[in-house]
Structure 1
């Protein structure tokens, strides 16, 4: 299918002459991150006295005026992490989050390359930009998988918490709008292309911190400002996207849509443009008014190729290494030293496991929090139906998290750990939660039958003695009749 370039048109926010001068310059963190507001002080970030995120180029914007405007990026969801280019974060700082982040690595189109900054140059991340938004504020249905095209509008910021090595990296955090296109929808039978649209004024803690970093410019008023700032960022502007047809040429084109919880009454128009659907709308909300545009689009053609309608059932999760209990900081050689490579935790058994998965781009999670011990087995009860073009490939991605900071307050305050983790008496290692590892598998064709996959230990905190990984997943693929 001939690729149709999608177009994102967004009104620019007001910007000063300095912003215009720097518009297309790749920023160097070792030249300007501190001037923009980063303090390179992890202790102050963890205690709320320094920002985790500041706007790129904020040094050129007075605190008495607006901060730097939003930016747009286009590209493909792809990065050094392979199938994990779209994922739920394995660990986040609970003090600066209400919920764990969704992370998206984007290999940017040429016009967006300057957004990647210099700290990724000559690394496996060169040419990529990191997009983040808290999982409570970015629904499962809207999340992409590796290989999807994405266009996003967001706050272009420095991640001040990660300045080691070549310096802070740039991100969109939060991204405020995203348009994801899939050539073949896993949700549609018969075959359809899919466009997932999500726009939200919800600022999330990252947005609130960047706004307050701009307003307080390093003063001791930052912490009070961050926790009092409205949970609102403007998304005003004119938007236009294109959703390519499911086949070319396309006979009897049709467009279906599902509203997934929009707020604010934004009217979206669509029309057939010969080889793609053109979708457009405008937002002009007064300050403080919550707006959410949440819609899925499915473009169908009468002559689209056939698909297989499949079902994946999660049969069993086997936990080989629960990662709790752990050795206390003053007892590094206790009998539980082999549970995790992150020593010095205050954590008792059982482990608090959470499993997130994507079945060819349909995201979800194992229900609840699993009380895992070494050797625990959990029976699966959930199934996912998906569609696959005949002869096509599909992927299964699974990522496990083990909650280690249930005793610490999140950005939401005392008694509210970072969601979806439960309240507990645990305090983990300063490097973050335990990460039991991930599974990433690609299948060609339906791949009917039972499968057994072991988690990889790459990048995890699973001790290397577990040569087959810290967990195993059994699942069955069948046809839907």
Structure 2
């Protein structure tokens, strides 16, 4: 066969392969009999069943999409590539009985070659908030240096799952004879089946076991402390077998009787499913635009591994393709001093040697946060109670806890906010917010250094956060222990989500940079979110109607805080 024919055939085969890969996976497969074999898949709540069927939604809350030759909940990790569309926390909080903390959520525009990992539910009427697929990892398991920002390139290896907690049937099905609405067969009369239900389960990477975030378009000093520098790509890497509840065998194992979820206790978590030593971690690092005459990039690797843990070797190779990239491999399979690496952090810088692109170095200094509405209900969801940290039934307000235990307060008024702020992908938490209960101005001292191209560069500030409520006190405890602690208040506390403090998203074009040595101060109020003023007693802040005098309603205005900051141009 002539070379031209071979090349044409190869091109057609590649195109066909890409087309096949681009097809979405059907969300209804999450509840198919084949998927549910051996306890796999999801188990939706019926339309007419008892309220206890809500336990189906966490039995399990996350199910492997493709177990291949394994038995559930085991599965092989997948690799996904994309561009970050949005990074945030879950403002309302997560279901605490299978989490150690709230999740950090990264929403990704998945590359076309990986679109087969995206489910029909991700892009349907109940689709993602942004992007085409969500990536989630508990905040306490994810160091800030590796959090992604909008526009960053992301490669991740992790557990490909159905989000079983959100079946979102739409449209509903109809019973085969009576034609009444249904979700599953049990909604119909004996002898009937439910036909036509369309489930909108999302596919996710949840949790990841490795994430590589490449920050392109800016300038970076080749140093561990973030500083602006010459135009370069900074790639931050985090590898860990500890994915929190979503990555623990005990948490994600299906039980034949969903009511078992009220009796099992998986905490402290001890059965991680991820094996980070099964293979090395390999990925490509994109480079900035190539200046004329540049032959090779300069590459530098800085270790970010937690103290005392093994630091594996990183090998980098320049691949002069279209486009040129730096191929990196982190050796996770070779023992170091007799032990394999586990939790690993790396930062890899790459830039062209003779890149003279003019860069503007800017410094953002956050000086204060002004809490306008603390978003705290007048009437707490659950009465305060004090219980020992392990002996859940012991009231330690009356009797001291056993040796080694502490006395914890659950329920009652819940103080505190959490706000996480990024400047061009550099994330930091705001300080001293744990005691927030009333309007106040709280000094801050966060500093962000960045460099952006003088032409077309844009510093970007983005915050995500919430005002804490009862649910936040329940993390890291099983549902069984929640019931012991809260008794009849358990449902009220589980339903008491944290409250949205509003969105803060600021982009400053290069033309708006302050002059050198002339910093400019700004005050920006969040937009949207919860809370407002009572309809007649406008001086009274509120979260819901229950916070207002009788006969009044809470007029929601949002904008619960203002951020005070300065921007200075340093070069």
TM-score bin, normalised by smaller chain: 0.7 to 0.9
What's the TM-score once normalised by structure 2's chain length?
Answer: 0.66
Match of 1:139 in 2: 143
> 1:283 & 1:73 partners in 2: Cα distance?
19
Q: 1:66 to 1:207 in 2, by over 3 A?
A: closer
Task: Identify the match of residue 32 of structure 1 among 27, 30, 33.
Answer: 30
What's the TM-score once normalised by structure 1's chain length?
Answer: 0.77
Contact persistence 1:48–1:95 (CA under 8 A): no
Match of 2:283 in 1: 241
For residues 173-226 of structure 1, give each alpha carbon's deviation from its aligned partner in whole angstroms, at most 9, with x where no partner exists: 101111211223454312211112222122321011587526x66677776484
Match of 2:159 in 1: 155
> 2:58 & 2:295 partners in 1: Cα distance?
60
Q: 1:244 to 1:121 in 2, by over 3 A?
A: closer
Match of 1:453 in 2: 524
Q: 1:290 to 1:256 in 2, by over 3 A?
A: closer
Residue 429 of structure 1 and its aligned partner are, at CA, apart by 6.3
Give 3-state SS (helix, strand or coil) of 2:528's partner: coil
Question: Would you say 1:72 and 2:79 are equivalent positions?
Answer: yes
Mean Cα deviation higher: 120-129 or 275-284? 120-129
Question: Would you say 1:96 and 2:98 are equivalent positions?
Answer: yes
Task: Identify the match of residue 164 of structure 1 among 162, 168, 171.
Answer: 168
> 1:44 & 1:170 partners in 2: Cα distance?
22
Match of 1:176 in 2: 209
Task: Identify the match of residue 402 of structure 1 among 450, 463, 467.
Answer: 467
Residue 326 of structure 1 and its aligned partner are, at CA, apart by 3.2
Give 3-state SS (helix, strand or coil) of 2:524's partner: strand
Match of 2:271 in 1: 230
Question: Would you say 1:471 and 2:561 are equivalent positions?
Answer: yes
Match of 1:198 in 2: 238
Residue 348 of structure 1 and its aligned partner are, at CA, apart by 2.8
Q: 1:346 to 1:218 in 2, by over 3 A?
A: closer
Contact persistence 1:202–1:290 (CA under 8 A): no
Give 3-state SS (helix, strand or coil) of 2:100's partner: coil
Contact persistence 1:47–1:95 (CA under 8 A): no
Root-mean-square deviation (Å)? 3.7
Q: 1:295 to 1:120 in 2, by over 3 A?
A: same
Contact persistence 2:219–2:452 (CA under 8 A): yes
User: Superposed, which structure 2 residues align to 1:412-427 within 5 Å?
Assistant: none
Question: Would you say 1:53 and 2:62 are equivalent positions?
Answer: yes
Which of the pair is proportionally richer in helix? 2
Give 3-state SS (helix, strand or coil) of 2:238's partner: strand
Give 3-state SS (helix, strand or coil) of 2:245's partner: helix
Larger C-alpha radius of gyration, 1 or 2?
2
Residue 365 of structure 1 and its aligned partner are, at CA, apart by 0.7
> 1:43 & 1:411 partners in 2: Cα distance?
22
Match of 2:485 in 1: none
Mean Cα deviation higher: 371-380 or 24-33? 24-33
User: Superposed, which structure 2 residues align to 1:212-227 within 5 Å?
Assistant: 212-213=252-253, 224=264, 226-227=266-267
Residue 148 of structure 1 and its aligned partner are, at CA, apart by 1.1
Q: 1:426 to 1:157 in 2, by over 3 A?
A: closer
Residue 32 of structure 1 and its aligned partner are, at CA, apart by 2.8
Give 3-state SS (helix, strand or coil) of 2:470's partner: coil
Q: Gaps spanning 5+ residues in structure 2: where?
A: 1-19, 46-50, 171-199, 222-228, 384-409, 483-489, 515-519, 533-542, 544-553
Give 3-state SS (helix, strand or coil) of 1:119's partner: helix
Residue 467 of structure 1 and its aligned partner are, at CA, apart by 3.7
> 2:494 & 2:144 partners in 1: Cα distance?
29
Residue 378 of structure 1 and its aligned partner are, at CA, apart by 1.3
Contact persistence 2:380–2:413 (CA under 8 A): no
Match of 1:341 in 2: none
Task: Identify the match of residue 370 of structure 2 among 299, 305, 318.
Answer: 318
> 1:43 & 1:443 partners in 2: Cα distance?
51
Residue 164 of structure 1 and its aligned partner are, at CA, apart by 2.7
For residues 378-407 of structure 1, give each alpha carbon's deviation from its aligned partner in whole angstroms, at most 9, with x where no partner exists: 122222222222131121001221111267
Mean Cα deviation higher: 40-49 or 364-373? 40-49
Match of 2:318 in 1: 272
> 1:56 & 1:186 partners in 2: Cα distance?
39
Residue 77 of structure 1 and its aligned partner are, at CA, apart by 0.9
Question: Would you say 1:308 and 2:352 are equivalent positions?
Answer: no
Q: Gaps spanning 5+ residues in structure 1: where?
A: 1-21, 79-84, 332-344, 418-424
